[in-house]
């Protein structure tokens, strides 16, 4: 984000956008990691809970390097939630559920804050630009996190979902993904190629959100 500072008309505009973005990221990652920990605990694995990760305290989920990367480049990550598959009754099914819990929670949050923004505008008549910016940013950040994390690339949640659904195929791609997955993600992110995935999928979901909300307005 700091790399974008000269794109703003003033330092004040940059700081407002910067703080809103940090808030949106912290909400997104906190609920995402909490969902992983809570579902794992519900399925019999208390590892994350015992490590203090089943909490909505964002400090427990922050990865220092990931946070620094976010501040400088606008691309960051949280501390991964540790899972002990030996504690799960059905490791293949449960790993899928645990992995999907994070992106699903982000999608739900995106919907909630989208609805909140729509209600404030259409029902309450509020047009405070800062409040709207906060709600839109939180919704958009959660939407982006949901779509990004469900990509079938290691170490994202989508990789675990994919390998749980297609265990035989995973044996063929796992050696490559485990070795190069992170580099693939970095290349896709910094090249802007991810926008060609995230933007149209986001548009699809926001269109659904809008149609649903308008049924009640």
Residue-wise pLDDT for 75-85, tens only, equals 789 999 999 99
The CA-based diameter of the chain, rounded to the nearest angstrom, is 56
More confident: 214 or 104: 104
Q: What is the mean pLDDT of residues 166-186?
A: 89
Rounded average pLDDT over 94-103: 97
What is the structure's pLDDT at 199? 96
Question: pLDDT higher for 121 or 191?
Answer: 191
Portion of the chain with pLDDT greater than 90, in percent: 74
How many angstroms separate the CA atoms of 22 and 28, rounded? 10
In total, how many domains does the chain have? Answer: 1
Contact assessment for residue 37 and residue 49, using Cβ atoms and an 8 Å cutoff:
yes
Range of the domain at 179: 2-214
Mean pLDDT (the chain, rounded): 92
**Which long-range contacts does 109-113 make (Cβ < 8 Å, 24+ apart)?**
109/27, 109/28, 109/31, 109/138, 109/139, 109/142, 110/139, 110/140, 110/142, 110/143, 110/146, 110/205, 110/209, 111/139, 111/209, 112/139, 113/138, 113/139, 113/142
Which of 62-66, 170-174, 191-195, 197-201 comes out lowest in average pLDDT? 170-174
Catalytic residues: 33
Q: Does residue 126 or residue 63 have the better pLDDT?
A: 63
Q: What is the mean pLDDT of residues 93-97?
A: 96
Chain segment 112-165, per-residue pLDDT in tens = 999 999 988 777 777 788 899 999 999 999 999 999 999 999 999 999 999 999
Band of the pLDDT at 5, cuts 50, 70, 90?
A: confident
């Amino acid at each position: 984000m700091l790399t974008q500072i000269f794109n703003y008309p003033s330092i004040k505009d940059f700081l407002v956008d910067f703080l809103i973005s940090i808030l949106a990221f912290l909400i997104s990652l906190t609920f995402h990691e909490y969902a992983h920990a809570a579902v794992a605990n519900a399925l019999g694995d208390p590892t994350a809970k015992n490590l203090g990760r089943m909490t909505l305290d964002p400090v427990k989920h922050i990865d220092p390097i990931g946070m620094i990367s976010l501040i400088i480049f606008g691309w960051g990550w949280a501390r991964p939630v540790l899972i002990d598959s030996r504690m799960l009754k059905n490791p293949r099914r449960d790993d899928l559920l645990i992995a999907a819990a994070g992106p699903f929670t982000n999608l739900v949050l995106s919907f909630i804050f989208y609805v909140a923004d729509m209600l404030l505008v259409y029902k309450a008549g509020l047009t405070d630009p800062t409040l709207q910016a906060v709600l839109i940013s939180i919704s958009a950040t959660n939407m982006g996190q949901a779509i990004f994390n469900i990509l079938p690339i290691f170490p994202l949640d989508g990789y675990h979902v994919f390998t749980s659904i297609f265990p035989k195929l995973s044996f063929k791609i796992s050696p490559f993904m485990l070795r190069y997955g992170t580099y693939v993600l970095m290349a896709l992110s910094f090249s802007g190629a991810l926008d060609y995935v995230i933007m149209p999928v986001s548009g699809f979901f926001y269109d659904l959100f809008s149609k649903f909300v308008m049924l009640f307005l």
